[in-house]
Amino acid sequence: MEIKKVTDPAFRKYGKVLDIDVTELVEAMQALPCPSDAVVYEPGDASLEALPVYEEFQRVVYGQMPVQVGYCNGSNQKMNAVEYHRCSEINVGATDAILLLGWLPDVKDDFTYDSSLIEAFFLPKGTAVQIYETTLHYAPCGIDGAPFRVTIVLPKETNYALETPHGATGEDRLLAARNKWLIAHKDGGCGDDAFVGIIGENVTV
């Protein structure tokens, strides 16, 4: 598939590049776990949240709302699922990475989604992007099979475990964690409880 850049006009539908100095953050990310055969996600990490850029994320991007700074690291080449939040998400490339993105209004009334609509964008190391609330996304992908490291910034407690089970009908079927609605591919390995609604191939880069 075609891989565009986050600086291309096509990315404006999904997010924007942020003018934030993430040099220290990228350096700190290199010390965090990055498996060669799996993907690891941590909603918040104390070493990242101790950096000065934490305050900038909280004050400038999220308007003084409390945030968490975590990471998604590892090895992945497939879409597997798409998720969305009721807020923007910041991704910072601590290595080069590829983001597979879709548009929430393309999800049908029955909560199915056509995987052929997914677009791929190259996120260079040292680049911070804001991913809009209306953007479908999931774990990043590595370049040519290499592991990736991407910082993930979200409002506090996003992606934490649910306090009560999600419902069985409507959009509530998609609720997989706090502030996380997920649509899985049948081959995505997202667990028996995941809502399977992606139609088409499990997109691979």
Backbone angles phi, psi at 120, to 5 degrees: -110, 135
- Whole-angstrom distance, CA of residue 180 vs CA of residue 99: 18
Distance between first and last Cα of the chain: 7
Q: How many CB atoms lie within 10 A of CB 136?
A: 26
Residue (of 137, 77, 140, 130) closest to 113 by Cα position:
137
Q: How many CB atoms lie within 10 A of CB 32?
A: 17
Domain 3-199 sits in CATH 3.40.50.1980: no
Tokens describing residue 47? 């070493």
Q: Per-domain residue ranges for the chain?
A: 3-199
Tokens describing residue 23? 């040099």
Beta partners for 184?
Answer: 81, 196
pTM over 0.95: yes
CA 200 to chain centre: 21
Q: How many CB atoms lie within 10 A of CB 2?
A: 6
User: In the chain, what's the furthest Cα-to-Cα distance?
Assistant: 45
- Whole-angstrom distance, CA of residue 148 vs CA of residue 140: 8
Per-residue confidence of the chain (205 residues) as pLDDT tens digits?
899 999 999 999 999 999 999 999 999 999 999 999 999 999 999 999 999 999 999 999 999 999 999 999 999 999 999 999 999 999 999 999 999 999 999 999 999 999 999 999 999 999 999 999 999 999 999 999 999 999 999 999 999 999 998 889 999 999 999 999 999 999 999 998 999 999 999 999 9
